[in-house]
Chains A and B, each alone.
Chain A
Amino acid sequence: MNIRVAGPRSWSGPRNGAPWVWGFAAAALVWLVILVISGQGGGQTVSLALSLAPYLVIVGLGQMLVVTAGPGNIDVSVSSIISLAGFVSVAAASATGSAAVGILAGIGVGVLVAAVSTVAILGLSVPPIIATLAAGLVASSITLSTANGFTAVPDAGLRAALNLRPAGVPVLALAIAVLTVLVAALLRRTVYGRSLVAVGQNRRAAERAGVPVARVTATTYLLSGALAGLTGALLAAYIAPSADLGTRYLLDSVAVVVIGGTLISGGRAVPVGVWGAALFFILLDGLVNLVGWSTAAQNLLKGGLVLFVLFLAGGGDRSGGLASLFRRRPRPAAATTTTTITGDDTDG
């Protein structure tokens, strides 16, 4: 491997540099602003952010895997899964007295809901957004009926563990950092991870290269469901189970994936970037609270930033974009034109 390509342009094009930096940079900027305004306790701010960000990171990692599977892939059931998993895990934990069983139950619920989506996507050829929506609706109904007269309380031991901050570093943050490393390793070091990234870059090429596209897709949605379930279990123990526990996580999970540098069109996942973007979001919340701005300003800021990053980065070739994935019918005219050496779509 001593033959490297000549010239300064080695294998990291302009969009392959270090896209995750921006999330951290923005987070650092917000942190500095907080520091200046409040004039105290910079370390405390970081510690607090680190204890809140992991929840968003977990669900964000799942969403990242789904988005990496290529254009059109999105999991809109995460918020419903989080709410439902919260109730189920608390109920399971209080019934068995074991926090571990509770967490496992939460994960199991996530996998179950995702299994419904997966069957719809692969078996009924339902577009992912509709399939996960429908599965999410079912989940939220179950949540609502569970919420009525729900009396169990979260496991005290787990809550204490989630609040544990030796030397200001939350234990949960460390654990989720390890999880992030594991996800990164999953993407780089396993056959599944490579297959997922291949499918996301070019579904057709991956299929021709012998990648089992359907199996990879199914695994991805199940993983996303499991991670959302885990988020729900932990969040319910940290705060309390409620029917709208996961509401904000649908939009936020997609947003942190986008800001974190993961390619929206699929094929490149940046697990570290999710951390940067999540910290940025949490710190932004903190800043808005500190300044006394409303949640209105918070949402405006978030939305504006997502759009700004999106339009700045651009999307590239539309022919490989969203519409082409949803196209199930063969389109003779369109297809043949792209196979000619150049389509005559250069003008216009």
Chain B
Amino acid sequence: MHVDNLPAGGTAPPDTDTGPAGRPPVVTARGVTKTYGRTRALTGVDLEVRAGEVLGLVGHNGAGKSTLMRVLAGLEPCDAGTVLVHGAKASAGDFRTVRMAYQETSLCPDLTVAENMWVSSRHCLPRLRWRRAASDAVGRRLDEMFPGHGVSPRDRVEDLSLARRQMVEIARACLVDRLDLLILDEPTESLGPDAARSLYAYVRRLTEAGTAVLLISHRIREVLSVADRVAVLRDGAVTAERPASGLSEPDVLGLMGAHVAAAPTFGAPAAAGTAARETVAELLGATGPGLREVTLRVGRGEVVGLAGLAGQGQQEVLERLWRPVRRDTTVGVSRAYVPGDRQRSGVLPLWSVGDNLIVTALRGIARRGLRRPAEERAVVADWVKRLSIRGGAEAGITELSGGNQQKVIVARAFASPAGLVLLDDPFRGVDVHTKTDLYGLIRQEAAKGRSVVWYSSENAEMAHCDRVYVFRAGRVVAELTGEEISEERIIGVSFAEKGEDD
């Protein structure tokens, strides 16, 4: 079938007589589990996506949404359980009618829009003059989905704004000769409100034609307005599955495990204790890529949390503090950084635990550029003992478990004389025992007068902070102090749809 001849939606016959509940399931997950190393991402998921319905999938950071999507799209096998496509056990080819629009987009930045269409939809493009066909098809699809999109098929993806890239990504996912299930991963995260409305209108047209849509979003209100049913994912399992009608935002937040404050207080005053502390670092109205008018200060010996959903500007703040080159940022002490992505920016893979641990501190220990091995060994031994790092100082870092590797990376920062330690969500996927050790360490070091700025995607961790700034869309939307800091409050504030229209 030729992609140009497509109707707006898929080709499954619309059976409007029965409601979505009576329709056949397109993709069914039964008891699906998935484990990465020691992290159990999915712990037995049962989920059914039916033809012609919009299923909303909600859940907090790390609930297993992305993993579930990849399994449902056939990109990854599951460890246990089954995934059925049209009621039959699925083989790789069956997933061709399941398409996914990725949040981070799945486009080659150097290729044009039309060329990207060839990469992902070449099966339904002619062999000759494919460029023309792809341009026409994507242009028409974009016109249908996002009127006034302003994207030309000849544009290179890297030249497009984030919103337009997202439009192209969604159009790419829809460009196929038969579409049974469309998975949308945070589709409106970078879209403006108009484009989001157009998208959901299109989603409605798709489902009328019989296509199933799985919508993943943390914008609860949007999910409720678009979805027929809502499934709540919590700790790797579906904990609730309800019809969307009759559900309210607080209901869903409650199902996700949040307690919603009646009226979240924005910009709560800092407790008297923190105001008295000497300021070691400060951002004054910092604005830039990903940040808007952020003002925050860090006191000596204070643990400051940066909370909120992932990617709302917290890492940009850490970046500013790590390399304070702009005038709006002042940092008065030396710094150390604990990266969250161990493999990419933490571990030095060819070295032992001891070497990895001491690399930051050895600058301070050395005399005239020459290392002092005895002193280094003493520091290493001390930290290995203090954090009970398995394997000892001589073990290769890559032989360690993720949790122990993370201990080494954390110890690396605290073994240095730095006055301000920046934590970039370092405890993701670390086991509870290790976490408890490290939380204790952070409090101990803060008590010694070190300041800590701690970004975490796990809101429960924020309870260990003196003060928490909650971020949304590059702004500080709330400052919580002491008693106010609780997981429920943070979830409530970060999901509250204030300032949604920016």
Please indicate which of the listed interface residues B393, B395, B418 has the most CB atoms of chain A within 10 Å of its own CB: B395
**A16–B322 Cα gap in the complex (Å)?**
34
Distance (Å) between the CB of B342 and the closest chain A CB? Answer: 9
Report the stretch among B118-126, B239-247, B365-373 that lies at the interface: B365-373
Report whether A5 and B393 are in contact in the complex, using a CB–CB cutoff of 8 Å: no
Report whether B392 and A4 are in contact in the complex, using a CB–CB cutoff of 8 Å: yes
Q: Which of A2, A202, A346 interacts with B347 by CB under 8 Å? A: A202
Q: Does A198 count as interface, using CB distance less than 8 angstroms?
A: yes
Q: Does B345 count as interface, using CB distance less than 8 angstroms?
A: yes
**A342–B67 Cα gap in the complex (Å)?**
10
Q: Which of B102, B351, B366, B371 interacts with A201 by CB under 8 Å? A: B351
Return the chain A residue nearest B346 by Cβ: A205
Contacts of B337 in A (CB 8 A): 208-210
Report whether A332 and B347 are in contact in the complex, using a CB–CB cutoff of 8 Å: no
1/0 contact trace for A188-226 toward B, CB 8 Å? Answer: 011110100110011011111111000000000000000
Report whether B339 and A208 are in contact in the complex, using a CB–CB cutoff of 8 Å: yes
1/0 contact trace for B411-424 toward A, CB 8 Å? Answer: 01000101000000
Report the stretch among A45-53, A124-132, A333-341 that lies at the interface: A333-341
Q: Does B176 count as interface, using CB distance less than 8 angstroms?
A: no
1/0 contact trace for A1-34 toward B, CB 8 Å? Answer: 1111100011101001000000000000000000
Q: Does A318 count as interface, using CB distance less than 8 angstroms?
A: no
Contacts of A342 in B (CB 8 A): 36, 76
Q: Which of A11, A202, A331 interacts with B396 by CB under 8 Å? A: A11
Contacts of A246 in B (CB 8 A): none
Distance (Å) between the CB of A320 and the closest chain B CB? Answer: 9
The size of the chain B interface, using a CB distance under 8 A, is 58
Within 8 A of A (CB), among B389-425: 391-396, 399, 412, 416, 418
Q: Does B255 count as interface, using CB distance less than 8 angstroms?
A: no
User: Contacts A194-B359, A344-B70; is A4 near B395 (CB within 8 Å)?
Assistant: yes
Report the stretch among B79-87, B105-113, B203-211, B227-235 that lies at the interface: B105-113
**A340–B348 Cα gap in the complex (Å)?**
19
Report whether B360 and A210 are in contact in the complex, using a CB–CB cutoff of 8 Å: yes
User: Contacts A5-B391, A344-B76; is A338 near B348 (CB within 8 Å)?
Assistant: no
Distance (Å) between the CB of B442 and the closest chain A CB? Answer: 18
Report whether A202 and B394 are in contact in the complex, using a CB–CB cutoff of 8 Å: no
Report whether A205 and B339 are in contact in the complex, using a CB–CB cutoff of 8 Å: yes
**A206–B107 Cα gap in the complex (Å)?**
30
Return the chain A residue nearest B102 by Cβ: A333
Report whether A329 and B158 are in contact in the complex, using a CB–CB cutoff of 8 Å: yes
Report whether B395 and A191 are in contact in the complex, using a CB–CB cutoff of 8 Å: no
Return the chain A residue nearest B73 by Cβ: A344
Report whether B344 and A339 are in contact in the complex, using a CB–CB cutoff of 8 Å: yes
Contacts of B335 in A (CB 8 A): 210
Report whether A1 and B36 are in contact in the complex, using a CB–CB cutoff of 8 Å: no
Please indicate which of the listed interface residues A13, A191, A211 has the most CB atoms of chain B within 10 Å of its own CB: A191
Within 8 A of A (CB), among B322-377: 322, 335-337, 339, 341, 344-352, 354-355, 359-360, 362-363, 366, 369-371, 373, 377
Report whether B349 and A333 are in contact in the complex, using a CB–CB cutoff of 8 Å: no
Return the chain B residue nearest A337 by Cβ: B104
Report whether A11 and B158 are in contact in the complex, using a CB–CB cutoff of 8 Å: no
The size of the chain A interface, using a CB distance under 8 A, is 43
Report whether B336 and A210 are in contact in the complex, using a CB–CB cutoff of 8 Å: yes
Contacts of B102 in A (CB 8 A): 333
**A263–B66 Cα gap in the complex (Å)?**
36
**A194–B359 Cα gap in the complex (Å)?**
8
Q: Does A267 count as interface, using CB distance less than 8 angstroms?
A: yes
Q: Which of A9, A204, A210 interacts with B399 by CB under 8 Å? A: A9
Return the chain B residue nearest A189 by Cβ: B371
Report whether A1 and B412 are in contact in the complex, using a CB–CB cutoff of 8 Å: no
Report whether A341 and B39 are in contact in the complex, using a CB–CB cutoff of 8 Å: yes
Contacts of A197 in B (CB 8 A): 350-351
Report whether A336 and B344 are in contact in the complex, using a CB–CB cutoff of 8 Å: no
Report whether A268 and B76 are in contact in the complex, using a CB–CB cutoff of 8 Å: no
**A208–B350 Cα gap in the complex (Å)?**
17
Q: Which of A189, A190, A329, A341 interacts with B429 by CB under 8 Å? A: A341
Q: Which of A5, A189, A336, A337 interacts with B394 by CB under 8 Å? A: A5
User: Contacts A3-B384, A336-B104, A338-B344; is A268 near B350 (CB within 8 Å)?
Assistant: yes
Report whether B348 and A1 are in contact in the complex, using a CB–CB cutoff of 8 Å: no
**A5–B344 Cα gap in the complex (Å)?**
25
Within 8 A of B (CB), among A301-343: 329, 331-333, 336-342
Q: Which of B36, B107, B371, B416 interacts with A341 by CB under 8 Å? A: B36
**A16–B339 Cα gap in the complex (Å)?**
27
Report whether B344 and A333 are in contact in the complex, using a CB–CB cutoff of 8 Å: no
**A74–B70 Cα gap in the complex (Å)?**
40
Return the chain B residue nearest A200 by Cβ: B350
Report whether A205 and B371 are in contact in the complex, using a CB–CB cutoff of 8 Å: no
Report whether A11 and B362 are in contact in the complex, using a CB–CB cutoff of 8 Å: no
Report whether B392 and A3 are in contact in the complex, using a CB–CB cutoff of 8 Å: yes
Since A3-B384, A189-B370, A209-B359 are in contact, a sample of 19 more A-B pairs with Cβ atoms closer than 8 Å, ordered by chain A residue number, is: A13-B396, A189-B373, A190-B366, A194-B359, A194-B362, A194-B371, A201-B350, A202-B347, A210-B418, A211-B359, A267-B348, A268-B350, A332-B104, A333-B102, A333-B106, A333-B108, A336-B103, A341-B41, A344-B76
A-B contact pairs, 22 of them (CB 8 A): A1-B377, A4-B395, A5-B391, A5-B396, A10-B394, A11-B395, A189-B371, A198-B359, A204-B344, A205-B347, A207-B345, A211-B359, A329-B158, A333-B102, A333-B105, A333-B108, A338-B344, A339-B341, A340-B66, A341-B39, A344-B75, A346-B76
